C-alpha cells in the first residue's frame, strides 16, 4: 500500500466524521468535484460506514433484547416474591386469628366448668335441705293417718294406701313417687272395699307390706336416693345473642318454671302455656334485662307437684 492511498483514506474518514477544518474541507470539496475516482471512494466509504452502522445497531438490538428479557424475568421474580410474602403474611394473620379463637372458647369452657361445679355443689346443698322438710311433712301425714286409723273403722281408699306406703318410706325419708302409689291403690282397692273386717285388713296389710318391701327393694336397687333426680337432671346450652331460644323441655300446660342464677337468685319465672312460641326463654330476666353468660339452674314444677330440674347454660 502506498502512502498516498493511506493519506486519502484518512482524509475521507475525517471528512465523513466532520473532523476537517474549514480550509481542509474547502480543499477537499473542490477536489471531490474534480476527481470522480475520489467521489467513488467517498461513496464506498459511506456505504462502508452504513454497513458497519447497521451491524452495530444489530449488536445493540441483541443486547437490549437480552436486557428486556432479564428485566421481565426480574419483574416476574418480584411478583413471585411479593406473592410469597403476601401468602406468608396472610397465613400468619389467619393463623393468629384461629389461635385466638381457639384460646377464647377454652377459657370460656373452663369458666363454665367451674361454674357448673359450683352450681352443682350448691344444688346438692339445697337439695338436702329441701328433702328434710319433705320428710317432715310425710311424717306428719303418717301420724295423722295413724290417728285416723284408730278413730274410724272404714278407711278411705286413698288414705289407707298412702298410709301403708308412707310408713316404711318415712323411716328412710324418701320422697313419694306418684305412680307407685296409684298402682298400689289399684291392687289394694277391691278387697278393702268388699270386706272391711279388721282381721282381714290385717291380713291384707301384711300382704301389702310384703308387696311394698319388694317394691321398695326394686326401687332402692334401681333408684337410690339421688339417682332419679340426677337422671332427670338435664343440661341445656344455648346462645340467646344469636337469636336462639331455649325451648322448654316441658310442655305441660300450667307448669311453673323458675330459673336461678349461680347465686341462687330467681331471675326468671313463668307459667308454661302449651304454645311453642311462648314456651321458650330468650335469656333475659323477667323484666327484660339481658343476663350475663353463665350457668343457670331451672326448675319446672309440674301440676302433680313433681319437679324437673336441670341447668341451662348461656353461651356467646
Partner 1 sequence: MIRRRYSDVEIIDAIRKGEETSGMIEYLYNKHLPKIVQYIRKNNGTREQAFDIFQDALLSLCIEIKKNRYKQEYELGGFLFQICKNKWINEAKKLQKMLVSDQTPEITYEQTALDIVLSAEKQSMVQQALSQIGEKCQQLLIYSTFHRLSMKEICAKMGFSTENAAKTQNYKCKQKLLEVIKRNPVLYETFSKS
- Which among 43-51, 217-225, 245-253, 295-303 is the span making contact with partner 1, rule CB under 8 A? 43-51
Q: Which residues, including other chains, have CB under 8 Å from residue 259's CB and lie 6 or more apart?
A: 266, 267, 268, 269, 281, 296, 297, 298, 299, 312
Site string for partner 1, 10-29 (x = CB under 8 A): -------x------------
Residues 201-260 that bind partner 1 (CB under 8 A): none
- Which among 57-65, 176-184, 240-248, 281-289 is the span making contact with partner 1, rule CB under 8 A? 57-65
- Which among 56-64, 186-194, 225-233, 271-279 is the span making contact with partner 1, rule CB under 8 A? 56-64
Asked whether position 80 contacts partner 1 by CB under 8 A, the answer is no
Query: Min. distance of Cβ 44 from partner 1 in angstroms?
Result: 5
Query: Min. distance of Cβ 30 from partner 1 in angstroms?
Result: 23
- Which has the closest alpha carbon to 311: 227, 256, 228, 249? 249
Asked whether position 6 contacts partner 1 by CB under 8 A, the answer is yes
State which of residues 61, 77, 126, 213 lies at the interface with partner 1 (CB under 8 A).
Answer: 61
d(CA 126, CA 132): 10
Asked whether position 89 contacts partner 1 by CB under 8 A, the answer is no
**Look-up of cell digits 311453673:** 256
d(CA 261, CA 268): 9
Cβ closest to partner 1, residue 1 vs residue 265: 1
Query: Min. distance of Cβ 80 from partner 1 in angstroms?
Result: 15
Asked whether position 50 contacts partner 1 by CB under 8 A, the answer is yes
> Which run of H or of E encompasses 42?
helix 36-151
Phi, psi torsion values for 300, nearest 5 degrees: -100, 130
Q: How many CA atoms lie within 13 A of 133 on its CB side?
A: 4
Query: Min. distance of Cβ 15 from partner 1 in angstroms?
Result: 14
Between β-strands 234-238 and 307-314, what pairing exists: parallel, antiparallel or unpaired?
Answer: parallel
* Angle of the 157-172 helix axis to the 36-151 helix axis, nearest 10: 110
Query: Min. distance of Cβ 32 from partner 1 in angstroms?
Result: 16
Asked whether position 35 contacts partner 1 by CB under 8 A, the answer is no
Asked whether position 108 contacts partner 1 by CB under 8 A, the answer is no
Name beta bridge partners: 259: 268, 298
d(CA 13, CA 46): 9
Asked whether position 82 contacts partner 1 by CB under 8 A, the answer is no
Residues that bind partner 1 (CB under 8 A): 1, 6, 9, 17, 43-61, 63-65, 67-68, 70-72, 74
Amino acid at each position: 500500500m502506498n502512502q498516498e492511498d493511506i493519506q486519502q483514506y484518512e482524509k475521507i474518514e475525517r471528512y465523513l466524521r466532520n473532523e476537517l477544518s474549514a480550509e481542509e474541507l474547502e480543499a477537499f470539496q473542490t477536489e471531490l468535484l474534480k476527481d470522480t475516482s475520489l467521489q467513488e471512494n467517498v461513496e464506498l466509504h459511506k456505504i462502508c460506514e452504513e454497513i458497519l452502522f447497521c451491524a452495530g445497531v444489530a449488536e445493540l438490538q441483541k443486547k437490549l433484547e437480552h436486557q428486556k428479557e432479564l428485566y421481565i424475568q426480574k419483574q416476574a421474580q418480584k411478583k413471585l416474591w411479593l406473592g410469597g410474602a403476601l401468602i406468608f403474611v396472610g397465613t400468619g394473620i389467619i393463623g393468629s386469628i384461629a389461635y385466638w379463637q381457639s384460646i377464647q372458647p377454652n377459657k370460656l369452657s373452663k369458666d363454665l366448668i367451674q361454674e357448673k361445679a359450683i352450681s352443682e355443689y350448691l344444688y346438692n346443698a339445697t337439695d338436702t335441705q329441701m328433702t328434710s322438710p319433705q320428710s317432715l311433712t310425710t311424717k306428719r301425714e303418717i301420724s295423722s293417718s295413724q290417728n285416723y286409723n284408730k278413730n274410724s273403722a272404714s278407711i278411705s281408699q286413698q288414705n289407707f294406701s298412702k298410709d301403708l306406703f308412707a310408713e316404711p318410706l318415712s323411716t328412710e325419708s324418701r320422697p313419694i313417687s306418684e305412680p307407685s302409689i296409684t298402682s298400689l291403690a289399684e291392687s289394694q282397692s277391691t278387697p278393702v272395699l268388699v270386706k272391711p273386717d279388721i282381721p282381714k285388713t290385717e291380713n291384707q296389710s301384711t300382704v301389702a307390706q310384703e308387696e311394698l318391701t319388694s317394691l321398695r327393694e326394686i326401687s332402692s336397687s334401681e333408684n337410690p336416693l339421688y339417682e332419679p333426680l340426677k337422671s332427670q337432671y338435664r343440661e341445656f346450652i344455648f346462645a340467646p345473642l344469636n337469636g336462639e331460644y331455649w325451648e322448654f323441655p316441658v310442655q305441660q300446660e300450667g307448669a311453673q318454671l323458675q330459673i336461678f342464677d349461680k347465686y341462687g337468685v330467681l331471675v326468671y319465672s313463668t307459667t308454661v302455656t302449651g304454645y311453642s312460641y311462648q314456651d321458650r326463654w330468650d335469656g333475659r330476666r323477667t323484666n327484660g334485662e339481658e343476663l350475663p353468660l353463665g350457668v343457670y339452674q331451672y326448675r319446672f314444677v309440674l301440676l302433680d307437684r313433681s319437679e324437673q330440674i336441670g341447668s341451662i347454660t348461656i353461651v356467646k
